[in-house]
Amino acid sequence: MAPLEAIIWHDGQLRIIDQLLLPFKTVYIDIKSVQEGWDAIQKMQVRGAPAIAIVGCLSIAAELAKESSIFNDCTSLHTFVCDSLAHLITARPTAVNMKAEALRLTEYSCSLLTTSQSVTEMMNSILAWCENLLKMDLATNKTLGDWGMQKILQLSKKDGEDGFSLITICNTGSLATAGYGTALGVVRSLHAIKKLKGLYMLETRPYMQGSRLSAYEAVVEGWPNATLICDGAVGALLSSSQVDAAVVGADCVAANGDTANKIGTYQLAVLCAAHHVKFFVCAPTSSINLKLSSGAGIPIEHRPALEMTSVAGVPVAAPGIACWNPAFDVTPARLITGIITEYGVFTPEKLEEEISSRI
Ligand code: MRU
């Protein structure tokens, strides 16, 4: 199996892997318009907060590259960009990265209204801005991964023991980002210096990002002792094995450190606390919303019952049963040991101070 490039942008054309079909089929689909971008995000053909934002913005770029001649002036181009962003942020409401990039791109487009000499110049600037997201995200992830790796190395080990065992949920790797990953980026950095002893992955019902996507990345990368566990096996695992730390991603981190992430993250955090296992959230600053004072303000997306009652189209539940299917939960800051960002690792108490002085 070859490493996967989830998002490909080349010569004004956007292609993404249809993650609904992984790991059994690798099919790339073209995204030619903002609406196609919205649909792919909403159906979870692309998922993971950073990847959602990148594909959302690049869907604007793809439509612009295709329809370059329809804008008569800079104002109509600016209106198109703002309307497209307003639409894109509705596709997956919990993942805050799309909103963060929407704010940045709106501001940038606004500034171009006064600085651009022509529509073509403004359009080229917007295309370059969107393209740059891929490079920036990759660089951010590598830095974040290395900070996390250094933090894990500081955890105490019994004499003579070498290497660290980690546990994670969902998929936060190459498939969820421009490449490298956030929590899986920490795993990657640890593996690069031969200090990864093992990685436990929760299968992550109902969408199976753990068993379909993280397990795929683990096999491709050859991570040692990469082991899939059922979501309900965390307590048994932590009570019987040596796991050094949990590393998880984030869809939105509030100013006080409360973190929304894939459903099941909260119970993983509770069980880590009960077994004295360190619990780290890995979040690029684009996943941090300092305007929210706590996790109570984070909107939680609910997914259709069908995603619970069937797996890959095969029914697995009694027909007629009611379902409660939130895609995310909020882990309170008190359960979080540290938040690993591209600027360093901060306790929830220090997060706001540290991040606000850097963005
Ligand atoms: O529903 P998903 O697959 O988009 O959920 C993804 C997660 O919860 C990830 O942990 C988060 O987006 C961070 S990805 C780097």
pTM of the model as a whole: 0.97
Q: Is residue 300 part of a domain?
A: yes
258 and 178 share one domain: yes
Residue 251 Cβ inside 6 Å of ligand 1? The answer reads: yes
pLDDT score of 241: 82
161 and 110 share one domain: no
Residue ending a domain, choose from 111, 138, 165? 138
Q: Is residue 117 part of a domain?
A: yes
177 and 254 share one domain: yes
Residue 264 Cβ inside 6 Å of ligand 1? The answer reads: no
* Residue 85 domain boundaries: 7-138
pLDDT score of 353: 97
The DSSP-derived string for 21-35 is STTT---EEEE-SHH
pLDDT score of 158: 66
190 and 246 share one domain: yes
To test the pocket of ligand 1, the residue of 44, 138, 213, 261 to mutate (highest count of ligand atoms within 8 Å of its CB) is 261
Residue 84 Cβ inside 6 Å of ligand 1? The answer reads: no
What sections of 154-223 are H helices per DSSP? 183-192, 215-221
Task: Give the ligand 1 atom nearest the CA of 248.
Answer: 10
ipTM: 0.99
Which residue in 137, 251, 258, 329 is the catalytic one?
251
Residue 182 Cβ inside 6 Å of ligand 1? The answer reads: yes
50 and 184 share one domain: no
Give 233 Cα–ligand 1 centroid separation in angstroms.
21
Residues 6+ apart with CB under 8 A from 220: 1, 2, 3, 4
Phi then psi dihedrals of residue 288, to 5 deg: -105, 130
- pLDDT tens string for the chain (359 positions)? 666 789 999 999 999 999 999 999 999 999 999 999 999 999 999 999 999 999 999 999 999 998 777 899 999 999 999 999 999 999 999 999 999 999 999 999 999 999 999 999 999 999 999 999 999 999 999 999 999 999 999 998 766 678 999 999 999 999 999 999 999 999 999 999 999 999 999 999 999 999 999 999 999 999 999 999 999 999 999 999 889 999 999 999 999 999 999 999 999 999 999 999 999 999 999 999 999 999 999 999 999 999 999 988 899 999 999 999 999 999 999 999 999 999 999 999 999 999 999 98
| Number of domains forming the structure of the chain | 2
The three-state secondary structure class of 256 is coil
pLDDT score of 156: 82
pLDDT score of 35: 98
168 and 227 share one domain: yes
Pick the residue whose CA is nearest to atom 10 on ligand 1.
249
What CATH number is given to the structural domain containing 91?
Answer: 1.20.120.420
Give pLDDT tens digits for 145-189.
999 999 999 998 766 678 999 999 999 999 999 999 999 999 999
What CATH number is given to the structural domain containing 271?
Answer: 3.40.50.10470
215 and 269 share one domain: yes
Give 238 Cα–ligand 1 centroid separation in angstroms.
23
208 and 254 share one domain: yes
Q: Is residue 2 part of a domain?
A: no
The two structure tokens encoding residue 280: 């780290």
60 and 179 share one domain: no
The DSSP-derived string for 182-196 is SHHHHHHHHHHTT-E
Q: Is 132 exposed, middle or buried (0-12, 13-18, 19+ CB in 10 A)?
A: exposed
Q: Is residue 18 part of a domain?
A: yes
pLDDT score of 203: 98
Q: Is residue 91 part of a domain?
A: yes
80 and 152 share one domain: no
20 and 153 share one domain: no
- The answer to whether 57 touches 131, Cβ cutoff 8 Å, is no
Q: Is residue 338 part of a domain?
A: yes
- The answer to whether 70 touches 115, Cβ cutoff 8 Å, is no
Residue ending a domain, choose from 103, 138, 173? 138
Helix-, strand-, coil-residue percentages of the chain, each rounded to 5: 45, 20, 35
pLDDT score of 2: 65
Q: List Cβ<8 Å contacts ≥24 apart for 268-275.
A: 268/167, 268/169, 268/202, 268/234, 269/331, 269/335, 269/336, 270/335, 271/234, 271/235, 271/238, 272/167, 272/238, 272/246, 272/335, 273/335, 274/235, 274/238, 275/238, 275/239, 275/243
Give 95 Cα–ligand 1 centroid separation in angstroms.
8
Q: Any catalytic annotation for residue 251?
A: yes
- Closest to 234 measured CA to CA, from 189, 273, 282: 273
Residue ending a domain, choose from 113, 138, 163? 138
Give 123 Cα–ligand 1 centroid separation in angstroms.
31
172 and 316 share one domain: yes
Q: Is residue 1 part of a domain?
A: no
Q: Residue 284 is which amino acid? A: P
Residue 47 Cβ inside 6 Å of ligand 1? The answer reads: yes
Q: Is residue 318 part of a domain?
A: yes
Residue 284 Cβ inside 6 Å of ligand 1? The answer reads: no
pLDDT score of 159: 63
Task: Give the ligand 1 atom nearest the CA of 169.
Answer: 10
The three-state secondary structure class of 147 is helix
Residue 93 Cβ inside 6 Å of ligand 1? The answer reads: no
